[in-house]
Amino acid sequence: MSSAPAVEVVDLVKRYGARRAVDGLSLTAPAGSVLALLGPNGAGKTTTIEICEGFRHADSGTVRVLGLDPAQTRLRPRVGVMLQDGVGGYPSASALELLRLFASFAARPHPPQDLLEIVGLTSVAGTAVKRLSGGQQQRLSLALALVGRPELVFLDEPTSGMDPQARRGTWDLIRQLRSDGVSIVLTTHFLDEAEQLADSVVVIDAGRVVAQGSPAELTRAGAEGQIRFRAMPGLPLQSLLEELPAGSRAVETEPGRYLVSGDVTPQFLATLTAWCAAQEVLAEDLAVQRRTLEDVFLELTGRELRA
Amino acid sequence: MSTTLAFTPAPEAAPRSRMLLAQTAMEFRLLLRNGEQVGLTLLIPLLLELFFNLPLLYSLDTPRRIDFVVPSIITLAVMSAAFTGLAIGTGFERKYAVLKRLGATALPRSVLVGGKTLAVLLLELIQLVLVCGFGFALAWHPHGDPAPALLLVVLGTIAFGGLGLLVAGTLRAEITLAVANLVWLVLLFAGGIAIPLSKYGPAARDVLQYLPSAALSDGLHRVLQHGGDFPVGPTITLLVWAAIALPAAARWFKWE
């Protein structure tokens, strides 16, 4: 059972009126890993995840969650859900009351007090849900998703509205979930979040998958790295190119400023700095520039990820 | 953050009985925490019990006014809790995605509805104690067998509850709020609660008597005021309302 994918989506289509919110989307989330759906607002991330959660029905295509149809109610105890906007709990219940209620739905829940402490809400345990800040509501929502000890969690924009500290804490928690064997599917429009957390990233735009792979694969594919540095003008770049792999390039963009490009590996960088040492040159402001997912997204769609 | 937990998956739903207990307790606590609900279901009926017992608005053809008032107020209390209160509460839970969120848990819908029903019945128990207790203080003297009266209350709860869920599940929360309050007010005066249907003309009476409030009120008056036998007509009327409202609510209820 553990080898079956946590989520499998094939040719998913969902229309709202004439608009295709999801337009032939396929993806696989392997069990025990973190899959990030990355894309701008309106790309179809939430629609896709809500179909996987059983809230919406696909117009066509197949969706399997833990090997089952998402409409199956026997999936519910096995799956934890964090909705995008707000907690989705009784507004006048306190944080602890709500967590206790959700714990009572599970046979072997996490102790609510402990879980509340882990998400940093102990000091507001008795506060009504509607009086929590946006970030606190997000953290409560995360705790509600986890309290029943699910094997798969869907986290829709888990850190939106959180301050930087809470955000890092949530990242640590997601990493721990993964190492404890929980499968995770999350949506985000934060690139660093996808890069930091995901084993695999599915880049979505206008309801379609435009790229997928590990963050390293996505940023490496088809891209060459660049190294910039500053030194005295007129370095003999031809001798550098003789030592670098074929296909590398080196130019002096303006007097004393250099741009070296190619398949930038650690060895590539070592060769460059060794050459500088041989020239008795101290390279200043040396910067290795890798492509980010932002660059990838921009190349694939011609748009900024965060409009 | 010294506490650590192992998140090793161990999913399994709790026994239904435990879920029902927890859900009922939550619903009931929230009812009592909501000031408007408490006002609507507990305070207003008591105030109206006092008010209608004063011979201000109209005369009744009875020397013992309180014997008419208490069955009316019981009807009002049931309508307030099972229709207006339930509709408004559920409508806003739908608006705030509470129902959507609960739908993603192991809680079955039947247990959610069961929890709501039990919370309403618990609330009605408090209402009955207060309304009857206050009635005794005002020299109420009930007649008849309390068993058919209780049966009518349960049937009325089911019929009004079904109607409340139908409104809450199909209309926007703000509209539900307006409709539920308006219907409450209209039924209070035109539905055989505050004013006996005998005060209306025969044509109006022929129609109004089939309202759920009129059926419950009539049935309770027959038993508690006049010591009559089991009220067959009102019972059938309430059964018909329940048989229409519950399937309709189940059919058209939108969870988000």
A130: nearest Cα among B98, B103, B55: B98
Note whether A13 and A134 are same-domain residues. Answer: yes
- How far apart are the C-alpha atoms of B131 and B125, rounded to whole Å? 10
Opening angle at CA A219, ends A177 and A21, nearest 5: 70
* pLDDT at residue A266, as a whole number: 86
Say what the pLDDT of residue A219 is.
75
- Find the domain containing A81 and state its range: 7-219
Residues A233, A140: one domain? no
- Chain A residues in contact with B173 by the CB 8 A cut-off are none
Q: Is residue A300 in some structural domain? A: no
Best CA proximity match to B120, nearest among B94, B147, B158: B158
Concatenating the DSSP letter of every residue in A167-219 gives HHHHHHHHHHHHHTT-EEEEEES-HHHHHHH-SEEEEEETTEEEEEE-HHHHH
Answer whether A89 touches B (CB < 8 Å).
yes
CA–CA separation, B87 vs A72, rounded Å?
Answer: 28
Strand order in the sheet with A208-213: A79-82, A152-156, A183-188, A34-38, A200-205, A208-213
Instruction: Give the three-class secondary structure for A267.
Output: helix
Give chain B's radius of gyration (CA, Å).
20
Q: Is B98 on the interface with A (CB under 8 A)?
A: yes
CA–CA min distance B100, chain A (Å): 7
Domain match, A182 and A245 both:
no
**Smallest Cβ distance to B107: which of A105, A111, A177?**
A105
ipTM comes to 0.89
The answer to whether A149 faces chain B, any CB pair under 8 Å, is yes
Other CB atoms within 10 Å distance of the CB of residue A73: 13
**Does residue A97 sit in the same domain as residue A144?**
yes
Mean pLDDT of the region A95-105: 97
Mean pLDDT calculated for residue range B58-87: 90
The number of residues in chain A equals 307
Number of Cβ pairs < 8 A linking chain A and chain B: 120
Name the strand (E) or helix (H) holding A166. helix A164-179
Q: How many domains would you assign to chain A?
A: 2
**Are A214 and A285 in the same domain?**
no
pLDDT at B57: 63
- Contacts (Cβ under 8 Å, ≥6 apart) of A217: none
Contact A101 B5 (CB under 8 A): no
pLDDT (tens digit per residue) in B168-227? 999 999 999 999 999 999 999 989 898 888 888 999 999 999 999 999 999 999 999 999
Tokens of A181: 């064997």
Mean pLDDT, to the nearest integer, of B36-40? 91
Three-state secondary structure call for residue A273:
helix
Report which secondary-structure segment, H or E, holds B204.
helix B202-208
**Residue A301 counted as domain residue:** no
Residues A202 and A254 in one domain: no
Q: Which of A83, A91, A105 sits opposite B19 (nearest CB)?
A: A105
SS3 of residue B182 by DSSP: helix
For β-strands A200-205 and A34-38, DSSP reports them as: parallel
A17: left (phi over 0), alpha (psi -120 to 50) or beta: left
Question: What average pLDDT does the segment A71-84 reach?
Answer: 94
**Chain position carrying tokens 């040719």:** A11
Same domain, A136 and A171: yes
CB contact set of B217 (below 8 Å; sequence gap of 6+): B71, B72, B75, B191, B192, B193
Across B128-150, b (16+ Cβ under 10 Å) vs e yields: bebbbebbeeeebebebeeebbe
- Chain A residues in contact with B26 by the CB 8 A cut-off are 90, 93, 97, 101
- The three-class DSSP label of residue B63 is coil
Residues A16 and A139 in one domain: yes
B110 interfaces chain A, CB cutoff of 8 Å: no
In a domain? residue A296: no
Please state the rounded mean pLDDT for residues B98-102.
Answer: 92
Distance, in Å, from the CA atom of B152 to the CA atom of B229, rounded to the nearest integer, reads 13
pLDDT value at A1 more than 50 = no
Q: What is the pLDDT of residue A299?
A: 72
pLDDT band at A221 (very low <50, low <70, confident <90, very high): low
Cα B6 to Cα A150, A174, B26: the distances in Å are: 12, 12, 28
Chain mean position to CA A5:
18
pLDDT of residue A85: 78
Domain shared by A241 and A178, yes or no: no
pLDDT band at B2 (very low <50, low <70, confident <90, very high): low
- Of the candidates A219, A244, A272, which is a domain's last residue? A219
Say how far apart CA A261 and CA A271 lie, in whole Å.
Answer: 13
Residue A282 makes CB contacts below 8 A (sequence gap 6+) with A231, A276
CB-based contact A101 B26, cutoff 8 Å:
yes
Residue A21: the pLDDT is 94
The widest CA-to-CA distance across chain B, in whole angstroms, is 76
Q: From its phi and psi, is residue A222 left (phi > 0), alpha (psi between -120 and 50) or beta?
A: left
Output the six-digit token pair for B58.
């109209």
Give the pLDDT confidence of B130-182 residue by residue, as tens digits: 999 999 999 999 998 999 999 999 999 999 999 999 999 999 999 999 999 99
Mean of per-residue pLDDT scores for chain B? 92
Q: Which of A87, A144, A181 sits opposite B9 (nearest CB)?
A: A181
What integer is the mean pLDDT of A116-144?
Answer: 95
Do A233 and A187 lie in one domain? The reply is: no
Is the domain of A185 the same as that of A115? yes
**Dihedral sign for Cα atoms in the order B213, B216, B222, B224:** negative
Domain boundary among A204, A219, A234: A219
Going by pLDDT thresholds of 50, 70 and 90, the confidence category of residue A167 is: very high
Q: Which helix (H) or strand (E) holds A141?
A: helix A134-146
Under the banding of pLDDT at 50, 70 and 90, the label for residue A224 is: low
Flag whether A245 is in a domain: yes
Q: What is the pLDDT of residues A255-293, one digit of tens each?
A: 999 989 888 888 999 999 999 999 999 999 998 877 777
The Cα of A191 is separated from the nearest Cα of chain B by a number of Å equal to: 26
